Amino acid sequence: MTTAYGFAVRTPTDMLEKARRELERFEAAAKSSSSDHACQSDHAINFAITIAHLGEWLFNAYIAKHPNPGTWLGFRKANKFTEHMCDQCSALQDCYEIANGSKHTKLYPHVAKNVRQTAEIKSGGSSIVSSPVKPLVQPIVRSLVMGDASSTVLRIVSKQGGSKLAKSTFRKALKFWEEFFHQHSSVIAKL
């Protein structure tokens, strides 16, 4: 299946390649000594949106080529397939929540499973700025500003209170899809 709506991104494999490029851009922005931390956040959101929608691209491409019986791996709908993939990989679920939270400015209860908030942590001193978003199921975007803000690390804060590096989460989500593509390469190559 190809799409007329994705410019040069037309197949699920193209979308996987886009995810790889988005991760490279995010990591390059994270390493940059530039004080433009918005660039790092932009690439983080772009990666999350890309990787979160890869399941939908795969499912719809498969169904377009195999309309009867209209299922793939036991699923009849793209959203159920995506939910299943997210259940298999918590990093993918985190990306899905970030993608939806950034798109809709909130997370609905049926979507919010793992992520409580995202955080931007800057090196240096000790002031904390919080910006709660309502209702309670929405992520709270919080910046921990410390001193000169010469470097920024993006973290994902879980509902359980722990946090993890966005970079590690993104790498795990990408690896999940790369392994899935490899396991199903004979089918995906024909999409």
Per-residue pLDDT at 163 = 78
Chunked in runs of 10, what are the mean pLDDT values of the chain (191 residues)?
72 96 92 70 92 94 85 91 94 89 61 54 37 31 38 73 85 98 94 88
- Give the start-to-end residue ranges of the domains of the chain: 12-188
Residue 3 pLDDT: 60
* Alpha-carbon gap, residue 120 to 58, rounded angstroms: 32
| Per-residue pLDDT at 149 | 45
Q: Given this model, what pLDDT does residue 136 score?
A: 28
Distance CA 157, CA 134 (A): 17
- What pLDDT does 89 receive? 96
What is the arrangement of strands in the sheet containing 115-122, beginning at the earlier edge strand? 127-131, 141-145, 115-122, 152-158, 163-165
Does this model's pTM top 0.75? My answer is yes
Q: How many CB atoms lie within 10 A of CB 24?
A: 12
pLDDT at 11 (0 to 100)? 92
pLDDT at residue 127, rounded to an integer: 26
